[in-house]
Structure 1
């Protein structure tokens, strides 16, 4: 079928993908907008999977201070080249992640960063809640697993709902950025400040 300029423009506005990618997606999906969006998403995930793991040492440090100057954050976001680090898309992503840190107060970047003793303590707390409940051990372990996943969503930056779209996660947003920018993108570290909070010694 013939894909119109209007269809390409509409898909591009919805996804932010390039003109040629939108045209290919619409052709592959017979002009169906929803199918074209899924096509682009799957293609983006495949591209991102290939990029992840590549060394990323360029990038920038972004700071965000919330209105009232009582809470702020700094984030180091890495990519592979200085060229990508200077793009508006990369800068906007770094800014959004700094805002995310201020708003959601994550403690870790990903679940793998959580110390084993913290996870074991959390598991013990959850199991203790169901002690004497009469539930079979395998059911309790399933509950522990589900509750741990919720815990990760609360304390791990990449698992949190994205500040600008709660239907997607920060990790998904970074994956989309990798596909769009053509380079690996990594949150290296972050720090959050709140006026009057105790100073760790």
Structure 2
């Protein structure tokens, strides 16, 4: 006999995930009442739904800004959705704010995704890896294998969508966006962004903004 799921548990799961009541009930039943398991089930279903919508045209949206405390670092990011209705939704606007803050915290990020990285940059990074001192005495086969792994890691460091979300390290920014595609029912994409660092190119002084932004988030 299937275990009856209390309505309070269903409502609690709905508040945590934004999924419909029926979906929450089914997920809890499938996980025998385990909330963590139910969340994982809904996440997998949500991501699958998001993948189907990821090719739809997104021309609405908004431009979000983030100015770090001290006014020395700023970010502008354009995030698109399919309709102005979704662009006005608080969840979409919060997503835009979170992504702007993410960009501010990730100084190595230069591109939205790996597919945006120019081939010249990929070749340059590959040459750097192959020329590192610890590979000099390796065979060509081993050298190529190690360099390939390091290159993949480096390309992820340059890609916004591959970053761990600063507010929930267990998911990437790409997965965060897919969750919102499922939640809001429209394709969502980051089109472009620009980071502004006061005095950049004029002085060599640098600050650890990653730690500063993280500390600010944790104190909220």
Normalised by the length of structure 2, the TM-score is: 0.84
CA distance in 1, matches of 2:195, 2:157: 15
Match in the other structure for 1:91 = 93
Change (3 A) 1:132 1:193: closer
CA distance in 1, matches of 2:88, 2:182: 17
Q: How does 1:11-90 map to 2 (within 5 A)?
A: 11-90=13-92
- Which structure 1 residue ranges, 5 or more long, are not aligned? none
CA distance in 1, matches of 2:135, 2:155: 23
Shift of 1:137: 3.0
Shift of 1:153: 2.6
Shift of 1:131: 4.2
Match in the other structure for 1:148 = 151
Q: Secondary structure at the residue paired with 2:61? A: strand
CA distance in 1, matches of 2:38, 2:126: 42
Shift of 1:108: 0.6
CA distance in 2, matches of 1:145, 1:176: 31
Match in the other structure for 1:115 = 118
Whether 1:133 aligns to 2:173 is: no
Shift of 1:4: 0.6
Shift of 1:175: 0.8
Report if aligned partners of 2:73, 2:196 keep a CA contact under 8 Å in 1: yes
- Which structure 2 residue ranges, 5 or more long, are not aligned? 203-220
Query: What's the RMSD between the two structures over aligned residues?
Result: 1.7
CA distance in 2, matches of 1:152, 1:176: 23
Report if aligned partners of 2:47, 2:175 keep a CA contact under 8 Å in 1: no
Q: Deviations over 1:149-195 (max 9, x none)?
A: 22123211111111212222110100111111111000011111111
Question: What count of residue pairs does the alignment treat as equivalent?
Answer: 198
Report if aligned partners of 2:165, 2:171 keep a CA contact under 8 Å in 1: yes
CA distance in 1, matches of 2:154, 2:62: 29
Q: Secondary structure at the residue paired with 2:131? A: helix
Q: 2:162 aligns with which of 159, 164, 167?
A: 159
Change (3 A) 1:93 1:163: same
